[in-house]
């Protein structure tokens, strides 16, 4: 094996690491964008008084048609903190 071949073999793993890190960053960016779009398109976000129960079954279906947000536990609700 010549000296030129060994140099090429040393560079190849670095190139693969760089490409993998770029691909990971793009994948993470796509996941974050998808989550943000789902949260922005959630109908319950735009309903006035969304913390109360829906008045009708139709309202319930509309509010739950999007991404459902995590509801705080009973302990967190009892603490009186304001949750989004």
Report the distance separating Cα 68 and Cα 14, nearest Å.
42
pTM attached to this predicted model: 0.47
Which of residues 84 and 78 earns the better pLDDT score?
Answer: 78
CA distances from 1 to 12, 14, 57 (A): 16, 20, 75
Residues of the chain with pLDDT > 90, as a percent, come to: 17
Report the distance separating Cα 17 and Cα 28, nearest Å.
16
pLDDT tens digits for range 3-32: 565 555 566 688 888 999 999 999 999 989
pLDDT tens digits for range 37-48: 877 877 767 666
Q: Average the pLDDT over 55-69 and give the result.
A: 77
């Amino acid at each position: 094996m010549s000296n030129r071949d060994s140099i090429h073999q040393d560079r190849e793993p670095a190139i693969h690491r760089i490409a993998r890190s770029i691909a990971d960053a793009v994948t993470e960016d796509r996941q974050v964008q998808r989550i943000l779009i789902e949260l922005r398109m959630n109908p319950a976000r735009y309903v006035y008084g969304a913390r109360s129960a829906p008045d009708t079954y139709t309202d319930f279906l509309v509010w739950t048609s999007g991404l459902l947000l995590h509801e705080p536990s009973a302990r967190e609700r009892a603490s009186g903190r304001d949750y989004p």
